[in-house]
Structure 1
Amino acid sequence: MNRLCKSLMVLEFAVAAGLSAVAVQKAMAADQAKPDLNRGQTIATQVCAACHGADGNSAGGAYPKLAGQHPEYLVKQLHDFKPADGKPAARSNPIMAGIVGALSDQDMQNVAAYFAAQAPKPGYAHNASTVALGQKIYRGGDAERGVPACAACHGPTGQGIPSQYPRLSGQWSEYIVAQLTAFQQGTRNNNEPMHAVSQRLSDSEIKAVADYIAGLH
């Protein structure tokens, strides 16, 4: 059933139910905003696959795994790459800026929902000598330095909290290191708490916690 037919059905139902014009508009808007996984797959295959993989499981740490990520978080990040209201993008990346410039809000909803529905491939910790340090930071933080436990926001197994905190479980350690470093140096500016936390971590601690996160499942 195409989108026009679905919208007409929503309109007919709403009118039959005696809803107000405002209620009719809201009902139609809700129908229009429902993610289209088929369209999302098309965008993923044609636009995103080269870096992130057709199913959201990227081939290496230069690009993040998107499979299984919370759709609300993905939509926010896509919007953050896009300038708005005359202001520069909250997240600077020339490649992503070019991509999101061609995406509508509905496209973002569609592709985010598609990636969220894909099964993420597991990751692995590679440095046995830093597991204890990475675990300490992730699970307990460092109260004396004002470093909260990563698990407080991202969950004990890295599953995150929808719309607020991303899933980290199995993410490439190289990508996590790059993002924590970007927060630390101020080259990524779309999350003030992460900017503050990363500044209190040493480079070796960042690598340790990133490697630990890669092995979470």
Structure 2
Amino acid sequence: MKSILSFATAVCLWLVLVAPVYAGGNIAAGQAKAGICAGCHGPDGNGGADPAWPKLAGQDPDYIAKQLADFKSGARKDPIMSGMAAPLSATDMKNLGAYFASLKAKPGAASDALLAKQGQKIFRGGNATMGVSACMSCHGPSGHGIPPRFPKVSGQNTAYTQKQLLAFKAGNRANDSETMTRTAFRLSEQEIKAVAEYMAGLH
């Protein structure tokens, strides 16, 4: 009986110690740093007033940390985010990733059913004529991503997704493997708009 109690005590202690840690980051420490992020990403990580700003709630923690590191190094360019990331340490980035990953993502919705239907074909089947693979082959059938390399794209703001795909297409963003650059380059602007609309309603 003593051994069972000792084991149960050890498990409870382990849970108490590990609970604040998420993928190498500390949720509480991340929350303490995240106050300034709320203005653009929302107090719950589900986006601010501008739909061109991304939702971060429920995103893969390592992906968030990588993007922050890329903003700091200049591998990914954005005048606002570069300034925000500049004072962050690698530990800060992991903590922020853990915090936002721990938040519950609110489901999004497509606003144009016809456009979303066009996007569904690309997301699920790609475009063989242009040599574009199905988006779900990397981001999963429900758009929840395949961590740590491929991020969650479901429920994301249409305007943000469209902006990023256009940046990949133009070569203005090249920090996430050549796959996205090649894929976006082969998509038309209409197809980009459609797939962004479809992914907004995935959850």
Q: TM-score, normalised by structure 2?
A: 0.85
| Letter matched to residue 122 of structure 1 | P
Query: What is the Cα deviation at residue 144 of structure 1?
Result: 2.3
Alignment match of 1:65 (pick from 50, 55, 61) = 55
Q: CA deviation at 1:44?
A: 1.0
2:40 to 51, 62, 81: 51
Tell me by how many angstroms 1:132 deviates. Answer: 2.3
Is 1:216 aligned with 2:202?
Answer: yes
Inter-partner Cα distance in structure 2 for 1:189 and 1:92: 10
CA distance in 2, matches of 1:129, 1:176: 18
Number of residue-to-residue matches in the alignment: 180
1:92 to 37, 53, 77: 77
Supply the AA of the counterpart residue of 1:193: T
Q: 1:34 to 1:190 in 2, by over 3 A?
A: closer
Q: Report the alpha carbon displacement of residue 116 of structure 1 after superposing the two structures with TM.
A: 0.1
Q: Which residue of 1 aligns with 2:4?
A: none
Q: Is 1:132 aligned to 2:117, yes or no?
A: yes
Cα deviation 1:12-63 (Å, max 9, x = unaligned): xxxxxxxxxxxxxxxxxxx9x9422111101111x21110112211134121
* Structure 1 unpaired stretches of 5+: 1-30, 84-88
- Deviations for 1:146-173, whole angstroms, at most 9, x for unmatched residues? 1000000001110001111000110001
Q: In the aligned structure 2, how far is the partner of 1:73 from the partner of 1:211?
A: 22
- What SS is found at the alignment partner of 2:186? coil
Quote the residue 2:180 is aligned against.
194
Matches within 5 A, 1:1-217: 34-45=24-35, 47-59=36-48, 60-83=50-73, 89-191=74-176, 192-217=178-203
Q: Distance in 1 between matches of 2:152 and 2:117?
A: 21
Counterpart of 1:111, as a letter, is L
Distance 2:51 2:139 in 1: 20
- Supply the distance in 2 between the matched residues of 1:75 and 1:182 (Cα, whole angstroms): 20
Instruction: Provide structure 2 residue ranges, at least 5 long, that are not aligned to the other structure.
Output: 1-20
Q: Tell me the equivalent position of 1:17.
A: none
> Greater shift after overlay, 129-138 or 113-122?
129-138
Higher mean displacement: 172-181 or 96-105? 96-105
| CA pair 187-201 structure 1, distance change in 2 beyond 3 A | same
RMSD: 1.4
Distance 1:108 1:48 in 2: 12
1:151 and 1:48 mapped to 2: Cα distance? 29
**1:34 and 1:76, CA in 2 relative to 1: closer, same or farther beyond 3 A?**
closer
| Inter-partner Cα distance in structure 1 for 2:40 and 2:77 | 17
Whose Rg is larger? 1
Identity of aligned residues (%): 53
User: How many Å separate the matches in 2 of 1:101 and 1:57?
Assistant: 23
Post-superposition offset of 1:131: 2.4
